[in-house]
Amino acid sequence: MEKKTDKNSYTIIFAIGMVLLVGALLAFAAESLKPRINENKRLEKQQNILYAMGINENDGSSATFISTDKAPEAFSKYITKQLVIENGKVTENDQAYLIDVKKEQANAKAGKIRRLPLFIGEKDGETYYIAPIRGKGLWDAIWGYVALDANMVVQGAYFDHKGETPGLGANIKERFFMDDFIGEHLLDASGNFKGITVAKGNADPKNDDKTDNEIDAIAGATITGDGVTAMIKSDLKLYKSYFETLKN
């Protein structure tokens, strides 16, 4: 005997009803939470940029941002200028931190001009030049912010990822990895851009040598590490011409 729920017509009606219900539910949830989520993302960008220039609440071995309620105030206090570099032309834009690096990279690929945001921070008389970078890890996107001085020496770095393996690639956002970049040079001795390589079998695991353009890789996270190397190389290189103008 056939049950009511085995009928084809019932199955189809059930499926349609379920899809409409679930679709409406998800659309409603996504729309109503969107403003809050976007606000969280905006604050996170400010926190990331501040983190890279050393304004954070680090305590012990884990990386801690400045709290969300203090972030907007600190951001306007420490970030003195926000620049957009477009084809070598530098303009000021106080919304530059909202530029979507992913979109700009896609523009560059499509042959259009890529806008490069650069944030200038002042802390204790030091000037920091903070640039966003973005690339690919093992599973998904990885990105970060690197704070440089006028000679393109790293003063601080923040990395994040969308879905790297916990315990392995995900450790790029741990302090032991990010802090390794501090003091490392992006240029070689003759001033050419060399980047920083996340190197396996590094002869310098304590990272005493800051001019070797290398930091020690995370065991078991080779592809994520290579992704970090690649995004530093490709994205920070674009800022080199700007840093040359600083010397004159």
Partner 1 sequence: MGLLSKKDSKLILDPLADNNPITIQVLGICSALAITAELKASIVMSISVLFVLGLGNVVISLMRNIIPSKIRIIVQLVVVATLVIIVDLVLKAFSYELSKTLSVFVGLIITNCIIMGRFEAFALGNGPWRSFLDGVGNAAGYGIILVMVGFFRELLGSGTLLGFKVLGDPIEKTGLYALGYENNGFMLLSPMALIVVGIIIWVQRTKNKALVEDH
Q: What does the binding site for partner 1 look like in residue numbers (CB under 8 A)?
A: 3, 5-7, 10-11, 14-15, 18-19, 22, 25-26, 29-30, 33, 36-37, 40, 44, 61-62, 68, 160, 162-168, 170, 205-206, 219-220
Nearer of residues 72 and 167 to partner 1, judged by Cβ: 167
Nearer of residues 1 and 110 to partner 1, judged by Cβ: 1
Q: Measured from the CB of residue 49, what is the shortest distance to partner 1 in angstroms?
A: 16
Nearer of residues 164 and 184 to partner 1, judged by Cβ: 164
What is the end-to-end Cα distance of the chain in Å, rounded? 90
Nearer of residues 16 and 106 to partner 1, judged by Cβ: 16
Q: Are 154 and 232 in contact (CB under 8 A)?
A: no
Q: CB neighbours (10 Å) of residue 176?
A: 12
Q: Are 140 and 122 in contact (CB under 8 A)?
A: no
Q: Measured from the CB of residue 123, what is the shortest distance to partner 1 in angstroms?
A: 24
d(CA 2, CA 19): 25
Q: Measured from the CB of residue 150, what is the shortest distance to partner 1 in angstroms?
A: 31
d(CA 37, CA 110): 30
Q: Measured from the CB of residue 89, what is the shortest distance to partner 1 in angstroms?
A: 35
Nearer of residues 25 and 106 to partner 1, judged by Cβ: 25
> 234: closest CA among 104, 65, 54?
104
How long a stretch of residues is the chain?
A: 248
> 137: closest CA among 32, 221, 17?
221
Q: Measured from the CB of residue 119, what is the shortest distance to partner 1 in angstroms?
A: 21
